[in-house]
Amino acid sequence: MNFQSALENLAKVFIGFYIACACAGRLDIPLKLVTQLRAQALAGAASSWGCPSTNKSACREYNPNIYKNR
């Protein structure tokens, strides 16, 4: 399954969910869901990702002067 077909399937599910909520008179539910997912994604992007090195002491010993552009 490629990425485009996965997005198409996700869009179909969301549209079905949106229509079901519209029929029930609760259009606020899909909007709240999207807002909550967006907030979680942005919070995850702003938090620390940790030390990318396999040598964990390398992050404590980082010296930015070594890596300056010359």
- Give pLDDT tens digits for 31-67: 999 999 899 888 877 766 667 777 767 777 767 777 7
* Better-predicted residue by pLDDT, 18 or 61: 18
- Return the domain boundaries, the chain: 1-45
Kindly report whether the global pTM for this prediction surpasses the value 0.85: no
Looking at residue 69, what is its pLDDT?
Answer: 66
Q: What is the DSSP string of 12-33?
A: HHHHHHHHHHHHTT-THHHHHH
Instruction: Answer yes or no: is pLDDT of 70 > 60.
Output: no
Per DSSP, the three-state class of 55 is coil
Query: Nearest 5°: CA angle at 28, between 23 and 31?
Result: 115
Average pLDDT over residues 14-35: 92
How far is 42 from 28, CA to CA, in rounded Å?
21
- Please give the single-letter amino acid code of residue 17: F
- Please give the single-letter amino acid code of residue 63: N
